[in-house]
Amino acid sequence: MKTERSQALFEQAQEWIPGGVNSPVRAFRAVQGTPRFIAHGEGAYLQDVDGNRYLDCVGSWGPLLFGHNPPAIRQALMAQLEHGTTFGAPTELEVQLARAICRAVPSCEQVRLVSSGTEAAMSAVRLARGYTGRAKVVKFEGCYHGHADCLLARAGSGVATFGLPDSAGVPPNLTADTLTLRYNDPQSLQRLFSQMGEEIACVIVEPVAGNMGCVPPLPGFLEQMRSLTQKYGAVLIFDEVMTGFRLALGGAQELYGVTPDLTILGKVIGGGLPLAAYGGRRDIMAYVAPLGPVYQAGTLSGNPMAVAAGLAALRLIEEDPSIYARLKARGEQAARGLREAVLDTGVPATVQQIGSMLTLFFTDRPVTDYASAKSCDTNRFARWFHGMLARGVYWAPSQFESVFLSSAMTDADIYLLVQAARASLKELES
């Protein structure tokens, strides 16, 4: 596979951009090798600058529910372009998008549009702290909510005492009130709430974890979280940046029937442009400036181009109510084929899938939390990843990520995916 142009561009990029990328996972450090510089996306496929073509299983990390460059979104952007790209003033379009989001996600009585999932998560946590007057934030190991200081925390020595920074540049005092528990461990959540429930402003969780690989909640985990937060007056925040409008129109909260107080959304609702949102109960959203005392602002919040793309995306979903059943069927089809390939080749691996999200974990046991995810053979994953790339399948370049199937994928595409996976697994044993 020719990669000269990607290699040359990566050399140049490292001169001008830290690590040569604008987001760390893109640098292929977890799998080594040269990141592919992409020239074009169309439907289910990417083409890199050397002319190599790949079935795209990353889908820009989730936004591309319909694959690349769907005509309806392209037309919406062209139409908006005639009127201008940004005004820094309210527009009719953003009212339409806010209403469409609230209608799709009933727990959102109001939403505030922002430009990234990080911004949405940071704002939702600040809002929960402002609304409750409390400081403590509970999150879970292996869940990622963007890179706001207070959320870049890992479990401290005594979890129930303080959180430690998980990044340089985050002073310990900024994570001291962030407590990190094990995902899918209701007992530790129960213990923490009985120790300090009245001090907890919020619990923030990925209702289906995607940032340690695809790890669904075990039965009762979300329900128990809901009853504890209710009982102690803490705000329950579902981070649905990845799962929102991906797993169902109403996201994971619709799928699992658990209603949070606040929801964070992103990715799909931007239709491929920078747009995210946080929203929820009206009495909590009433605390957001200019209505209330919790400040949050943004030059490009509700940007007309991003909103036009987001509206077109939600319209595509509205016009195609069977899309989630089809995406679920695609996910199950891919998972079935991958499990057969794992069995046939005898490589210790586990496939976890929900809807159109899935991960092939290089471990022979179920992955229910970060510790079990970290027990995977990441070297084997890296070799398998390059086997997939060489066979024309662009998989997520990290064991600890989900992949995202799109509605542009066909039976033939899933067949290609499974055959490439089988051959790449077999190669591991040679």
| Residue numbers annotated as active site | 144, 239, 267
Judged by beta carbon, residue 403 or residue 425, the one nearer ligand KE4 is: 403
Residue selected from 239, 254, 261, 413 as contacting ligand KE4 according to rule CB under 6 A = 239
Residue 304: cis peptide before it, omega within 30 degrees of 0: no
Which runs of E-coded beta strand occur in 297-423? 350-354, 357-361, 393-394, 403-404
Query: Would residue 2 be called left, alpha or beta, if left means φ above 0 and alpha means ψ between -120 and 50 degrees?
Result: beta
C-alpha pair distances (Å), 42 with each of 39, 56, 64, 401: 10, 10, 11, 23
In whole angstroms, the minimum distance from the beta carbon of 121 to ligand KE4 comes to 5
C-alpha pair distances (Å), 147 with each of 128, 255, 267: 18, 27, 16
Task: Tell me: does residue 146 bind ligand KE4 (CB under 6 A).
Answer: yes
- The answer to whether 44 touches 409, Cβ cutoff 8 Å, is yes
Judged by beta carbon, residue 128 or residue 241, the one nearer ligand KE4 is: 241
Cβ-Cβ contacts under 8 Å for 282 (sequence gap 6 or more): 109, 110
Judged by beta carbon, residue 239 or residue 254, the one nearer ligand KE4 is: 239
Task: Tell me: does residue 118 bind ligand KE4 (CB under 6 A).
Answer: yes
Residues near ligand KE4 (CB under 6 A), total: 19
Judged by beta carbon, residue 43 or residue 59, the one nearer ligand KE4 is: 59
| H-assigned helices in 169-303 | 172-175, 186-196, 221-232, 251-256, 282-285
Residue selected from 330, 401, 421, 422 as contacting ligand KE4 according to rule CB under 6 A = 401
Largest CA distance in the chain: 64
Residue selected from 10, 144, 278, 384 as contacting ligand KE4 according to rule CB under 6 A = 144
Task: Tell me: does residue 206 bind ligand KE4 (CB under 6 A).
Answer: yes
Task: Tell me: does residue 284 bind ligand KE4 (CB under 6 A).
Answer: no
In whole angstroms, the minimum distance from the beta carbon of 230 to ligand KE4 comes to 23
**CA 241, 246, 250, 252 torsion-angle sign:** negative
In whole angstroms, the minimum distance from the beta carbon of 53 to ligand KE4 comes to 23
Task: Tell me: does residue 145 bind ligand KE4 (CB under 6 A).
Answer: yes
In whole angstroms, the minimum distance from the beta carbon of 206 to ligand KE4 comes to 5
Cβ-Cβ contacts under 8 Å for 430 (sequence gap 6 or more): none
Structure tokens at 150: 């207070």
In whole angstroms, the minimum distance from the beta carbon of 402 to ligand KE4 comes to 8
The contact pattern for ligand KE4, residues 311-350, with x = CB under 6 A and - = no contact, is ----------------------------------------
Task: Tell me: does residue 162 bind ligand KE4 (CB under 6 A).
Answer: no
Q: Which stretch binds ligand KE4 (CB under 6 A): 102-110, 155-163, 194-202, 235-243?
A: 235-243
Judged by beta carbon, residue 35 or residue 337, the one nearer ligand KE4 is: 35
**CA 82, 83, 84, 90 torsion-angle sign:** negative
- The answer to whether 229 touches 203, Cβ cutoff 8 Å, is yes
Judged by beta carbon, residue 146 or residue 260, the one nearer ligand KE4 is: 146
In whole angstroms, the minimum distance from the beta carbon of 168 to ligand KE4 comes to 17
Task: Tell me: does residue 226 bind ligand KE4 (CB under 6 A).
Answer: no
- The answer to whether 242 touches 248, Cβ cutoff 8 Å, is no
Structure tokens at 179: 């407590």
Task: Tell me: does residue 211 bind ligand KE4 (CB under 6 A).
Answer: yes
The Cα–Cα gap between 97 and 279 comes to: 13
Task: Tell me: does residue 25 bind ligand KE4 (CB under 6 A).
Answer: yes
Which runs of E-coded beta strand occur in 115-169? 136-140, 153-155, 163-165
In whole angstroms, the minimum distance from the beta carbon of 425 to ligand KE4 comes to 24
3-state SS class at 372:
helix
Q: What's at 397, amino acid-wise?
A: P
Task: Tell me: does residue 124 bind ligand KE4 (CB under 6 A).
Answer: no
Cβ-Cβ contacts under 8 Å for 385 (sequence gap 6 or more): 31, 395, 397
Task: Tell me: does residue 244 bind ligand KE4 (CB under 6 A).
Answer: no
Judged by beta carbon, residue 25 or residue 196, the one nearer ligand KE4 is: 25
Q: Which stretch binds ligand KE4 (CB under 6 A): 4-12, 110-118, 176-184, 289-297?
A: 110-118
Judged by beta carbon, residue 61 or residue 381, the one nearer ligand KE4 is: 61
Residues that bind ligand KE4 (CB under 6 A): 23, 25, 61, 116-118, 121, 144-146, 206, 210-211, 239, 241-242, 266, 276, 401
